[in-house]
């Protein structure tokens, strides 16, 4: 359990010390390749058999001015031999490629933690760019940490002396040198990265050779230079039996959309306008064309949803994806899909803040706008992904609801899930239950375009069907689909649209209570806080506190059974990365309970320790005897 | 292409059971009439025909056609139609829009559908006014248009729709007039035959808010001298006595004797002639061009999109879900 700390440097033999879990944060310039470094470490650790969780943290600017604090890109991961749920509150090890990376991240490092710094990047000009008046390597800023200085620029130049690459290109291999060094420290195999480089730079032999050489040089430096007084090992985790792969949220989401369309028996048509952090969903799907996936990169957000609606009208499964600002633009068209009752999946990978906000940071602040944010009474089901490994299943769920209830569905994700990675226990594909769409092809005597089945869904007739021609639109309509301004009809249609969405609750399970099914406090979460809340609640229970946990995946309509569950707890703590939106929703829907909001909107996930402290505070103040 | 079916349906078969609710005397009636006639004569299949519209008086059109129809939201018909056509390229898709819907709120989508060259037909009813919102000036109204929202006259210069279209890489641009059934029919026929986006501007009379705005162009007495009907491969001749001609002189169009008129070619590699010809509308001394203003071939968007899917399947094999899920490095825990 102990993190790596300073050891007795007089020890002769290099010991191999076992650790249960380690948190590393790689930090450098946004051009230093820190995301690649982090992803490679993640991948190798996953293949090695560790459990892991990651937190990429990068600036919105592609290349902010070199060496400045706004340009710092970070990647944090926790890897472990036991079950973990978060990327870790505080790193045990910080790798800082320059002074800016050091200064931005040193505050998060665990006391006594290791800092590996590239001291070739601490010249006076570098310090000036990072706005350091004195050199943090000399001025006592790093007292209390174990500092390991490595001249990474020089070491890379030496290692690549024979490479035909330009000096500039050689320096771009620094991240692999650093990665090699960390592989040595944590006893990781080099092969997965060596092979990855061959694939990545296929046909560019000089680049393959240089990066591989840098990786090996870094690894050997650890071995030879006795920098670390020892190596560490984090043994394989005992994951649940099964077949695993490492997956990022947006990729699992994209695969889930393909699966969802397939289970519905429909061609997926994904129309999207690039926006951080949702763009990679479009990119992944564009790579799946041999799975029958049609993608359109639309001219704007409005066009994207409108084309998806057109695709659904024509009898395929229309899908679109975006982030908050795009959701705002799509509002009117969402209303059209609601009014015409066409299936549609709308992915919202949430980011921080109103307007442009903080595009690469995490927040859960689109909850209420997803549920209510349209003109008119315009209800729509909302499903929330909580981690990369459940994105697949919940994307399928969004498709199911869309086609079974003839409704647009919002699928919420966020930047933490989208770019985070974790081992995914691969599902048994045979066990996925199909929900094939039955198009209506014949007019029965009482046929109406807006007639209803038992769920209140209307029939789906696709253009091209003989004898079934009809017109639909955003004007209020009678059940026949003809325009109607009749007051009673509008009342009836509004009521039906609401009830239909409410009926979705009949098809979703009541979420499980983790821990005792009654007690002092229930911690309720939704979305990407799941791992942090799980860890915090487990810790609190280990301390003997009467705390249980529940996590919602279906945030609208709310599942049945919550009222009964909530009644068994004295208080319900709702940590959210917004200003109490779920609390607001629950106070309206299920008003008879004591809800306590706990909110954070820094663009960074909660820390486990923050939630633990809040649990303690609440228990002391509210839920005690 | 399959053989063109013999017309077995009449105009009436294309009329829906809905009561038409445009103002009495509105030019839209004539256009609806022309369309229903065209559908019957061309042997169209109502089940395979889709009318998509945005918002505005013209956009009520789909409700009156006994085909599939989608009355969408303001300005977005081209975006919705893109999804329809890509999802099912076999459908015959028509977009009905107005000058406000297509050139104001929906300008972006119009530009992009034209550059993509989706195989659809766009009917743009141009009455140079906002009808449904009761008479504000539109992006095609001339400078100085005095209406309720512009009591001292509009300031902004109008779009010339044909120039907008060719500037957006349109492959087919035409102009016709609601009062001229014969010309409308001929133009619709040419548009329907074109593979790619056909953009047809129809000068249309709003009898309530911009009555007879085009009277000095299209009224029977003045029309021969005030319009020139451009036909591919024929000299640009007009006038009641067919004695007036047009010719290009550098970057201008000038009037000349009929025998000196240039031959109209809507298919030149450059769209410059269309820009020059369409620009004549700004000059009261010049005739307003109608007919086929541009007609060239280019790859069609939905064909390309679907061909990529087919190519991917042909080269990689039809994907199995397992290939996607069980991809990359996988490991097993016992």
> If you count them, how many residues does chain B have?
334
Q: Phi, psi at residue B332, to the nearest 5°?
A: -115, 135
Do B289 and B276 meet the contact criterion of CB atoms below 8 Å apart?
no
Task: Give the whole-angstrom CA distance, residue A50 versus residue A473.
Answer: 53
Task: Flag whether A50 is in a domain.
Answer: yes
CA-to-CA separations, A413 to A53, A305, A464, in angstroms, rounded: 16, 18, 36
Question: What was the pLDDT predicted at A623?
Answer: 56
Mutate one of A291, A471, A474 to test the B interface: name it (highest B CB count within 10 A): A471
Ramachandran sector of residue A481 (left: φ over 0; alpha: ψ -120 to 50; beta: rest): left
More confidently predicted of A298 and B330 = A298
User: Judged by CB atoms within 8 Å, which residues 70-89 of B form the interface with A?
Assistant: 70-74, 76, 78-88
C-alpha of B195 from chain center: 13
Question: What was the pLDDT predicted at A14?
Answer: 53
CATH code, domain carrying A523:
3.40.50.920
Tell me whether residues B312 and A290 touch, CB distance under 8 A.
yes
Choose the closest CB to A483 out of B63, B72, B329: B63
Instruction: Centre a 10 Å sphere on the Cβ of residue A578 and count the other Cβ atoms it contains.
Output: 21
Distance, in angstroms, between B310 CA and closest chain A CA?
7
CATH code, domain carrying A175:
3.40.920.10
Final residue belonging to a domain, choices A428, A450, A479: A428
Task: Give the whole-angstrom CA distance, residue A328 versus residue A337.
Answer: 15
Distance, in angstroms, between A25 CA and closest chain B CA?
24
Same domain? For A210 and A75 the reply is: yes
Q: Which residue range(s) make up the domain with A83?
A: 16-233
Tell me whether residues B324 and A258 touch, CB distance under 8 A.
yes
Task: Flag whether A505 is in a domain.
Answer: no
Same domain? For A391 and A537 the reply is: no
Kindly state the DSSP code that residue A623 receives in the 8-state scheme.
Answer: I
Choose the closest CB to B71 out of A47, A310, A471: A471
> What 3-state class would DSSP assign to A544?
coil
> How is the beta sheet containing A513-514 ordered, strand by strand?
A513-514, A547-552, A519-526, A569-576, A595-599
Same domain? For A277 and A373 the reply is: yes
Question: What was the pLDDT predicted at A12?
Answer: 41
Task: Flag whether A501 is in a domain.
Answer: no
Question: What was the pLDDT predicted at A226?
Answer: 67
- Work out whether the CA dihedral A417, A418, A424, A428 comes out positive or negative: positive
Task: Flag whether A588 is in a domain.
Answer: yes
Question: What does the DSSP assignment read for B68-111?
Answer: EEEE--TT-HHHHHHHHHHH-TTSEEEEEEEHHIIIIITHHHHH
Q: Report ipTM for this prediction.
A: 0.97
- Helix (H) or strand (E) segment spanning residue A413: strand A408-414
Chain A residues closer than 8 Å to B50 by CB: 314, 463
Domain count, chain A: 3
Question: What was the pLDDT predicted at A8?
Answer: 39
Same domain? For A217 and A277 the reply is: no
Asked if the model's pLDDT at residue B180 lies above 50, the reply is: yes
CA-to-CA separations, A202 to A160, A162, A205, A397, B315, in angstroms, rounded: 19, 20, 7, 38, 20
C-alpha of B223 from chain center: 22
Same domain? For A368 and A269 the reply is: yes
Mutate one of B79, B108, B116, B320 to test the A interface: name it (highest A CB count within 10 A): B79
Choose the closest CB to B71 out of A298, A465, A473: A473
Question: What was the pLDDT predicted at A232?
Answer: 87
- Does this model's pTM top 0.95? no
Distance, in angstroms, between B327 CA and closest chain A CA?
8
Choose the closest CB to B319 out of A290, A335, A465: A290
Same domain? For A76 and A108 the reply is: yes
Task: Flag whether A479 is in a domain.
Answer: no
Q: What is the mean pLDDT of chain A?
A: 93
Question: Which fold is adopted by the domain B11-213+300-306?
Answer: Rossmann fold (3.40.50)
Question: What was the pLDDT predicted at A64?
Answer: 80
Tell me whether residues A309 and B72 touch, CB distance under 8 A.
yes
Task: Show the low-confidence residues of chain A (pLDDT under 70).
Answer: 1-15, 225-226, 623-625
What are the residues whose beta carbons fall under 8 Å from the beta carbon of B183, sequence distance 6 or more? B176, B177, B229, B290, B291
Interface contact B19, partner A, CB < 8 A: no
Same domain? For A292 and A225 the reply is: no
Final residue belonging to a domain, choices A370, A394, A428: A428
Chain A residues closer than 8 Å to B79 by CB: 298-299, 302-304, 306-307, 310
Tell me whether residues A464 and B47 touch, CB distance under 8 A.
yes
User: Judged by CB atoms within 8 Å, which residues 264-283 of B form the interface with A?
Assistant: none
Mutate one of B70, B81, B111 to test the A interface: name it (highest A CB count within 10 A): B70
Task: Flag whether A290 is in a domain.
Answer: yes
Question: Which residue of chain B comes nearest to A268, CA vs CA?
Answer: B87
Task: Give the whole-angstrom CA distance, residue A341 versus residue A387.
Answer: 30
Ordered alpha helix ranges (H), A314-452: 324-340, 367-372, 391-405, 415-419
Question: What was the pLDDT predicted at B165?
Answer: 98
CATH code, domain carrying A404:
3.40.50.970
Residue in the block written with tokens 């071995």: A223
Tell me whether residues A242 and B326 touch, CB distance under 8 A.
no
Q: What is the mean pLDDT of residues B86-113?
A: 98
Report the candidate in A550, A304, A246, A600 with the shortest Cα–Cα distance to residue A424. A246
Same domain? For A228 and A269 the reply is: no
Q: What is the mean pLDDT of residues B161-184?
A: 97
> If you count them, how many residues does chain A have?
625
Question: What was the pLDDT predicted at A624?
Answer: 55
Final residue belonging to a domain, choices A397, A428, A459: A428
Interface contact B248, partner A, CB < 8 A: no
Do A236 and A14 meet the contact criterion of CB atoms below 8 Å apart?
no
Task: Flag whether A469 is in a domain.
Answer: no
Same domain? For A124 and A197 the reply is: yes
- CA dihedral A148→A154→A156→A157, nearest 10 degrees, is 180
Question: What was the pLDDT predicted at B3?
Answer: 55
Task: Flag whether A490 is in a domain.
Answer: no
Same domain? For A162 and A38 the reply is: yes
* Burial environment of residue A467 by CB neighbours within 10 A (0 to 12, 13 to 18, 19 or more): exposed
pLDDT bin (cut points 50, 70, 90) of residue B72 is very high
């Amino acid at each position: 359990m102990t993190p790596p700390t300073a050891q007795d440097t007089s020890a002769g033999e290099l010991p191999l010390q076992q650790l249960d879990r380690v948190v590393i944060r790689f930090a450098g310039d946004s051009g230093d390749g820190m995301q690649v470094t982090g992803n490679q470490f993640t991948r190798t650790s996953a293949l090695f058999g560790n459990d892991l969780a990651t937190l990429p943290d990068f600036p919105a600017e592609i290349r902010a001015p070199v060496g400045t604090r706004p340009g710092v890109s970070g990647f944090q991961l926790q890897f472990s031999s036991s079950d973990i749920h978060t990327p870790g509150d505080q790193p045990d090890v910080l790798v800082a490629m320059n002074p800016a990376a050091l200064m931005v991240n040193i505050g998060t490092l665990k006391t006594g933690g290791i800092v590996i710094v590239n001291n070739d990047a601490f010249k006076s000009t570098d310090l000036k760019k990072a706005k350091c008046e004195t050199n943090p390597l000399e001025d006592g800023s790093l007292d209390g940490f174990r500092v390991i200085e490595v001249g990474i620029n020089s070491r890379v130049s030496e290692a690549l002396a024979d490479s035909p690459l330009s000096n500039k290109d050689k320096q771009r291999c620094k991240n692999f040198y650093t990665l090699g060094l960390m592989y040595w420290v944590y006893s990781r195999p080099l092969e997965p990265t060596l092979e990855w480089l061959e694939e990545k730079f296929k046909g560019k032999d000089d680049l393959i050779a240089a990066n591989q050489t840098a990786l090996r040089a870094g690894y050997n430096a650890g071995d030879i230079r006795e920098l670390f007084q020892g190596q560490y090992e984090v043994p394989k985790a005992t994951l649940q039996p099964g077949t695993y792969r490492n997956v990022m949220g947006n990729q699992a989401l994209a695969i889930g959309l393909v699966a969802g369309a397939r289970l519905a028996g429909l061609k997926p048509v994904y129309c999207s306008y690039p926006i951080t952090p949702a763009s990679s969903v479009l990119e992944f799907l564009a790579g799946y064309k041999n799975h029958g996936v049609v993608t359109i990169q639309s001219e704007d957000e409005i066009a994207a949803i409108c084309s998806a609606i057109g695709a659904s009208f024509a009898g395929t499964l229309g899908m679109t994806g975006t982030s908050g600002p795009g959701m705002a633009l799509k509002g009117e068209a969402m209303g059209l899909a609601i009014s015409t009752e066409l299936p549609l999946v709308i992915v919202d990978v949430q980011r921080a803040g109103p307007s442009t906000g903080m595009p690469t940071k995490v927040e859960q602040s689109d909850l209420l706008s997803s549920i209510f944010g349209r003109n008119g009474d315009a209800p729509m089901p909302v499903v929330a992904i909580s981690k990369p490994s459940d994105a697949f299943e919940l994307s399928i769920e969004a498709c199911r609801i869309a086609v079974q209830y003839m409704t647009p569905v919002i699928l919420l994700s966020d930047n933490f899930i989208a770019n985070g990675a974790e081992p995914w226990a691969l599902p048994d594909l045979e066990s996925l239950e199909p929900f094939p769409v039955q198009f209506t092809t014949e007019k029965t005597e009482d046929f109406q375009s807006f007639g209803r089945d038992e769920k209140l869904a209307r029939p789906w007739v696709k253009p091209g069907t003989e004898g079934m021609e009809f017109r639909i639109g955003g004007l209020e309509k009678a059940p026949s689909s003809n325009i109607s301004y009749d007051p009673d009809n509008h009342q009836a249609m509004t009521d039906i649209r609401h009830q239909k969405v409410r009926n979705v609750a009949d098809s979703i399970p009541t979420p499980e209570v983790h821990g005792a099914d009654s007690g002092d406090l229930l911690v309720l979460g939704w979305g990407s806080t799941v791992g942090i809340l799980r860890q915090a609640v487990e810790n609190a229970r280990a301390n003997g506190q009467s705390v249980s946990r529940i996590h919602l995946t279906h945030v609208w309509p709310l599942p049945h059974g919550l009222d009964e569950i909530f009644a068994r707890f004295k208080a319900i703590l709702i940590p959210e990365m917004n200003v109490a939106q779920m609390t607001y929703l629950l106070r309206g829907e299920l008003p008879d309970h004591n809800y306590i909001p706990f909110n954070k909107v820094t663009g960074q996930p909660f820390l486990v320790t923050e939630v633990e402290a809040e649990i303690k505070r609440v228990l002391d103040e509210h839920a005690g005897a | 292409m399959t053989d063109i079916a013999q017309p077995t349906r009449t105009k009436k078969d294309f009329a829906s059971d809905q009561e038409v609710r445009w103002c009495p005397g509105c030019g839209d009636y004539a256009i609806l009439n022309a369309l229903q006639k065209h559908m019957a004569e061309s042997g169209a299949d109502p089940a395979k025909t889709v009318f998509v519209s945005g918002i505005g008086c013209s956009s009520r059109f789909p409700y009156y056609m006994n085909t599939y129809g989608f009355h969408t939201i303001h300005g977005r018909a081209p975006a919705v139609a893109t999804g329809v056509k890509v999802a099912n390229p076999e459908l015959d898709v028509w977009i009905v829009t107005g000058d406000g819907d297509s050139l104001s709120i929906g300008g972006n989508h119009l530009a992009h559908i034209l550059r993509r060259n989706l195989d659809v037909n766009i009917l743009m009813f141009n009455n140079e006014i906002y009808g449904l919102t009761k008479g504000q000036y539109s992006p095609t109204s001339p400078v100085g248009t005095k209406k309720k929202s512009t009591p001292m006259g509009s300031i902004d210069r109008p779009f010339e729709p044909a120039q907008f279209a060719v500037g957006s890489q349109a492959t087919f641009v035409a102009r016709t007039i609601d009062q001229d059934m014969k010309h409308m029919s001929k133009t619709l026929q040419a548009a329907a035959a074109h593979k790619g986006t056909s953009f047809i501007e129809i000068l249309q009379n709003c009898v309530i808010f911009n009555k007879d705005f085009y009277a000095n162009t299209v009224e029977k007495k003045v029309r021969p001298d005030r319009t020139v009907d451009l036909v591919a491969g024929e000299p640009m001749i007009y006038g009641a006595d067919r004695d007036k001609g047009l010719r290009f002189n550098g970057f201008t169009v000038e009037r000349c004797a009929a025998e000196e008129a240039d031959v109209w070619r809507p298919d030149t590699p450059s769209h410059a002639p269309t820009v020059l010809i369409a620009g004549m509308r700004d000059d009261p001394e010049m005739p307003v061009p109608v007919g086929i203003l541009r007609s060239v071939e280019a790859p069609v968007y939905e064909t390309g999109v679907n061909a990529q899917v087919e190519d991917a399947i042909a080269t990689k094999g039809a994907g199995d879900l397992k290939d996607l899920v069980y991809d990359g490095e996988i490991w097993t825990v016992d």
